[in-house]
C-alpha cells in the first residue's frame, strides 16, 4: 500500500522517525507540496497525509483510488469534508496532541508582555544594566498576574489547560463556553456573554475553532469594548481576528498589547501592519511544535492509520 505524506517537514524536520509509519506501507515523504504537484504525487496512493496542503473537492474527485486522508493536526479545514463524504474517503485528525505546548505558549506571551523578559535580557546584553547606579534597573511597567482577570474563549482541552495555569498564577478565570456553569471546575466562572468577557477581562485568550460563526470575532467593535490596559492572546486560528482592526486598536492605544502565534496568512505578507508594531508580539505558528507534542502527533498518526486498516477507524471527522 502506498502512503504519501504531502508536507512532512514541519512535523519531522529530522529529529523524529517515520519508521512506525513505514511498517504499514510504502511511504513517500515530501517536505512540502504545491497545488500544482498534488495530483501527480497522490495519483496512485490510497493513503494521504497532509498538514497544511489543501485537499479540495476537485483533488478528491480527481483521485479515485484515494481511501484515507490523515490530517497531521487537530484542525481539518484543509480538507473538503463534504467531498470526502461523497467519495467515501475517511478523514482523520489528531486531537489534543499539543494541549500543554499551546497552553505553555499562551503564558509565554503573557509573561513576555507583562515582564518584558526579552527586552530586559537585551538591555543587559547591551550593557545598559552595567552602567546603572542601582542594583535593580527598570524602564517599563511590570505587571503582576495575581488577581487579574483572564477571559478564555472556548473551553476545550487547550482552553482548560490554560485556565489551570491561570489559576496557578492566582488569576480570576472567566470562560465563554457552551458548557453548563455547574459543570465547570472550581475557580472558573462562565461569562454571561462574549462581549461581557471582552469588556471586563485584563487578558483575553482565544481557544475556539475557526468557523463561519467565529470568523473575525475579534473586530473593531469588540476591541473597542476592551480595557486600554488589556492584552489579547491568539494561539487558535488567525482568522479569529480582523488583523487590520487589531493593528489600528494597538496603534491607537485602545489596548495594551497582543501576543499572536497564528496569522490569517502564514507566513504573513511583509506589508501586514501588525509586523511593525512594538506592542504586537508574533511568533511563527510554533505553539504546537515542541518535540514532545510532535512525538505524540506522530504516534497518533500511526495509531489512526493502523486502526483504519484493521477496520476500527478512530478520530474520523467525516460524520
Q: Give the integer Cα–Cα distance in Å for 34 and 271.
A: 23
164 is catalytic: no
- C-alpha distances (whole Å) from 115 to each of 45, 81, 121, 277, 287 are 51, 43, 11, 18, 20
H or E element in which residue 122 lies: helix 117-125
Q: Give the integer Cα–Cα distance in Å for 310 and 159.
A: 33
Sheet of strand 2-5: strand arrangement:
26-29, 2-5, 47-50, 68-71, 90-92
Residue 105 near residue 287, CB atoms below 8 Å: yes
Q: Give the integer Cα–Cα distance in Å for 210 and 231.
A: 21
Q: Residue 150 — φ and ψ, nearest 5°?
A: -105, 135
* Residue of 144, 147, 266, 292 with catalytic role: 266
* Residue of 41, 85, 164, 285 with catalytic role: 285
Closest CA to 149 of 203, 77, 108: 203
237 is catalytic: yes
* Residue of 109, 222, 237, 296 with catalytic role: 237
116 is catalytic: no
Core vs surface per residue 44-82: b (16+ CB within 10 A) or e: ebbbbbbbbbebeeebbeebeebbbbbbbbbebebbbbe
Residue 250 near residue 278, CB atoms below 8 Å: no
Grid coordinates given for 298: 506522530
Q: How buried is 206 (Cβ within 10 angstroms: 0-12 exposed, 13-18 middle, 19+ buried)?
A: buried
Catalytic residues: 237, 266, 285
Amino acid at each position: 500500500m502506498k502512503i504519501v505524506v504531502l508536507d512532512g517537514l514541519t512535523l519531522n524536520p529530522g529529529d523524529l522517525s517515520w519508521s512506525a509509519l513505514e511498517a504499514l506501507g510504502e511511504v513517500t515523504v515530501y517536505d512540502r507540496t504545491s497545488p500544482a504537484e498534488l495530483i501527480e504525487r497522490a495519483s496512485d496512493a490510497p493513503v494521504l497525509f497532509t498538514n497544511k496542503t489543501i485537499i479540495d473537492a476537485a483533488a478528491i474527485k480527481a483521485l479515485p483510488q484515494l481511501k484515507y486522508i490523515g490530517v497531521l493536526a487537530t484542525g481539518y479545514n484543509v480538507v473538503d469534508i463534504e467531498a470526502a463524504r461523497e467519495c467515501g474517503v475517511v478523514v482523520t485528525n489528531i486531537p489534543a496532541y499539543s494541549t500543554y505546548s499551546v497552553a505553555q505558549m499562551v503564558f509565554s506571551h503573557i509573561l513576555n508582555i507583562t515582564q518584558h523578559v526579552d527586552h530586559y535580557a537585551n538591555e543587559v546584553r547591551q550593557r545598559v544594566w552595567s552602567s546603572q547606579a542601582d542594583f535593580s534597573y527598570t524602564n517599563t511597567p511590570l505587571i503582576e498576574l495575581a488577581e487579574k482577570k483572564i477571559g478564555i474563549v472556548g473551553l476545550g482541552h487547550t482552553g482548560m489547560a490554560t485556565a489551570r495555569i491561570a489559576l496557578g498564577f492566582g488569576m480570576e478565570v472567566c470562560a465563554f463556553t457552551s458548557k453548563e456553569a455547574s459543570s465547570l471546575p472550581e475557580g472558573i466562572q462562565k461569562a454571561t456573554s462574549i462581549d461581557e468577557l471582552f469588556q471586563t477581562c485584563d487578558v483575553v485568550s482565544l481557544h475556539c475553532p475557526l468557523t463561519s460563526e467565529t470568523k473575525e470575532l475579534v473586530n473593531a467593535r469588540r476591541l473597542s469594548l476592551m480595557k486600554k490596559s488589556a492584552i489579547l492572546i491568539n494561539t487558535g486560528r488567525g482568522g479569529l481576528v480582523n488583523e487590520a482592526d487589531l493593528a489600528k486598536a494597538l496603534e491607537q492605544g485602545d489596548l495594551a498589547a497582543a501576543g499572536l502565534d497564528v496569522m490569517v496568512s502564514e507566513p504573513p505578507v511583509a506589508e501586514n501592519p501588525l509586523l511593525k508594531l512594538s506592542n504586537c508580539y508574533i511568533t511563527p505558528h510554533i505553539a504546537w511544535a515542541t518535540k514532545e507534542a510532535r512525538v505524540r502527533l506522530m504516534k497518533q498518526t500511526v495509531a489512526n492509520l493502523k486502526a483504519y486498516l484493521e477496520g476500527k477507524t478512530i478520530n474520523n471527522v467525516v460524520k
